[in-house]
Copies of this chain bind each other. A is one copy, B any other.
Amino acid sequence: MKEILDAYAAGAIDVNGAREKLLRLFYEHGDEFQFDLHRHERLGFPEVVFAEGKSIEQILTISTMVLEKSPAVFVSHLLPEQEEALRTAFAHYRIETSSRFMAIGRPLENGEPGAVGIITAGTSDIPFARECGLILEYLGIRVLNSFDAGVAGIHRPFLTLAKMEDADVLIVFAGMEGALPTLIASVTDKPVIAVPTPIGYGVGGKGIGAMISMLQTCAPGVMVVNIGNTVGATAGAIRILRAIKRGRT
């Protein structure tokens, strides 16, 4: 920018010329700048690569680019051959997986302060919960887990909440009738991010019932992301941790 301003000051360009150059600079610079720090610097969250529909080459290229700027790259909705290629290409990094999700990189030691509580209604929800856990772990954020806290045993939410005492924000996974986030949110005032999981069959199966149930919750303040959107839930939790950190200062 200084160059343009100096060129104008020196009379080498006129106002219109300066305007055009500044505009171009602004957007292009903004774009580059955004690419550099994008996601991890700005949102506390590196790019997550959605693998479905991408070629292996695309995935490797993007992942390499992300890893240059971020402590880790996360790849979701992987196919087996894509997974294989990533394992080979990034063998020198720590790699962790949960079903179709892969975390690659060098985990941070101290990320955002605070802790995220991860709760599942059933055991079938655990792979989704682990995706959240991996992202948070690689980003150096403390995780508290309580799995299989489901509604069917009505006392279990209380035990779960006891384990969650240190959590600043809760991510609650449930499939089928998806009632757990409602129960949790009715007995705590912590932020609750509800994630429907694609568990269940028939009418309302594949997470539709859980999704609708969470949107219709009678407990005030349940916030919902799409079915199986572990990345969105984790990013939402990190936004809240950042708001807490900012609030502290």
Contact = CB atoms under 8 A, between A and B. Distances in A.
Interface of A: 1-2, 5, 8-9, 15, 18-19, 22-24, 26-28, 30-31, 34-35, 38-39, 42-45, 48, 50, 52-54, 58, 62, 77, 114, 121-127, 150-159, 162, 168-169, 176-179, 182-183, 186-187, 189-193, 196-205, 207-229, 231-232, 234-240, 242-248
Given A223-B193, A235-B221, A246-B168, A215 B203 contact: yes
Contacts of A223: 193, 223-225, 232, 236
Nearest to A61: B123
Nearest first, the 10 closest Cβ-Cβ pairs linking A and B are: A221-B235, A202-B227, A220-B235, A204-B212, A223-B223, A9-B9, A244-B247, A53-B124, A209-B216, A179-B179
Contacts of A224: 215, 223-225
Contact of A215 (B2, B204, B239): B204
A200 to B, nearest CB: 5
A181 B96 CA distance: 32
A5 B2 contact: no
A19 B156 CA distance: 19
A182 to B, nearest CB: 6
A208 B204 CA distance: 10
B155 A34 contact: yes
Contacts of A226: 201-204, 215-216
Interface centre among A23, A198, A220, A238 (most CB of B within 10 A): A220
A174 to B, nearest CB: 9
A150 to B, nearest CB: 6
A123 B42 contact: no
Contacts of A201: 52, 77, 226-228
A108 to B, nearest CB: 16
A160 B21 CA distance: 17
A189 B5 contact: no
Contact of A28 (B54, B159, B210): B159
